[in-house]
Amino acid sequence: MALHKIDLSKEALIGSLTKEVPPLLAVSSGDSVCFSVPDAAWGLGAAYTDRKKPFARREKLDGGHALFGPIYVENAKQGMTLAIHFERIIPGSYGFTSAGQYPNWQNQQLHLTDFREITLDWTLDQVKMTGTCRIGGKTYTAPLRPFMGVIGMPPEDTGVHSTWPPRFCGGNIDCKELVSGSTLYLPVPVDGAYLAIGDGHAAQGDGEVSCQAIECPMDEVEVRLQLLEDVRLKYPRANTPAGWITFGFHEDLNEATVQALDGMLDLMGDLYGLNRVQAMALGSTAIDLRITQIVNGVKGVHACLPHDRITQK
């Protein structure tokens, strides 16, 4: 098992999910990768208001979030499962959150019809793990729970795929529970995996209601990658400090809910040896259904089974 440390550079970034480019690096199952990444908008500097964009973006490959990768996983085959364990996630010193700039149905129904944009500039304290911003002459403080918004692989062998939606193989999941100490399990869609990670968030509420969390660069992210050859998944699942999580993604929130719950019934069968009806009955006492995000076109729902909710003897 090796630790690969990669410096931040233009060559280490890509703004899409694809296997049609040479991978940034190749790793073996069990290896760890340590890297840093700019904010999703490719900015890097003391404050987002500087609007610094030091990395040139390629027209075809870099239309989306700034991602680290792609990472080639040796011996990864379509149908296997890739476990991504987040050892460490350290945010940078600044962040930003915008609202009001998108003239969509949400803003209209919420009476944000004048589309006056506001951008909050956050100062992030890595020691206290707090962020502060100012609105109308007053200072607001929020606790930080940093995580990566985009963790995914290309859904097909060919093509350059957008970073914006979540998919069965990951992508723009935007789940606030994927903090340090979490393990995300993704179905491998293509041989070699071609994993990419980015879209740093210092803090976010379920839903990501303004279309943005506290968007921030990450000074250090360390992940350990493990290939699970005999595990077959239809959709992602995760083991997090908050509990076990299963995901659903669909344009229809109801369909996304069914997918998330379906995955949780499968998981409870694996954990407790229950059939689906038994899992549904027991799960009704313990499963929390939450809206992951509603802003990426394809909506996300996650089912959470907290670790202390059910015990088995």
DSSP 235: S
- Every domain of the chain with CATH number 3.10.28.20 lies at 242-305
- Every domain of the chain with CATH number 2.60.120.580 lies at 3-91+148-176+187-228
| Per-residue pLDDT reduced to its tens digit, 156-195 | 999 999 999 999 999 999 999 999 999 999 999 999 999 9
The least confident of 110-124, 142-156, 167-181 is 110-124
More reliable by pLDDT, 214 or 117: 214
Q: In the chain, where do the E strands start and end?
A: 3-5, 13-14, 25-27, 32-37, 67-73, 81-91, 94-99, 118-125, 130-135, 138-143, 147-152, 166-167, 170-172, 183-187, 195-201, 218-228, 237-240, 243-250, 288-293, 299-305
Rounded mean pLDDT, 27-36: 98
Q: Cβ(122)–Cβ(176) under 8 Å?
A: no
User: DSSP secondary structure string, 254-308?
Assistant: HHHHHHHHHHHHHHHHHHH---HHHHHHHHTTT-EEEEEESSSSSEEEEEEE-TT
* The predicted structure's pLDDT at residue 112: 55
**Mean pLDDT (the chain, rounded):** 92
* The predicted structure's pLDDT at residue 98: 85
Residue type at 185 in one-letter notation: Y
**Residue 124 corresponds to which tokens in the numbers above?**
């992030």
| Per-residue pLDDT reduced to its tens digit, 64-79 | 999 999 999 999 999 9
* The predicted structure's pLDDT at residue 99: 82
Question: Rounded to an integer, what distance in angstroms lies between the CA atom of residue 242 and that of residue 254?
Answer: 23
CATH number at 242-305 = 3.10.28.20
* The predicted structure's pLDDT at residue 107: 52
* The predicted structure's pLDDT at residue 203: 98
Burial of 4 (0-12, 13-18, 19+ CB in 10 A): middle
pTM of this structure: 0.93
* Chain centroid to CA 40: 12
* The predicted structure's pLDDT at residue 114: 53
Under the banding of pLDDT at 50, 70 and 90, the label for residue 47 is very low
CATH number at 3-91+148-176+187-228 = 2.60.120.580
188: phi then psi, degrees, rounded to nearest 5: -85, 120
Q: At what angle do helices 276-283 and 253-272 cross, to 10 degrees?
A: 110
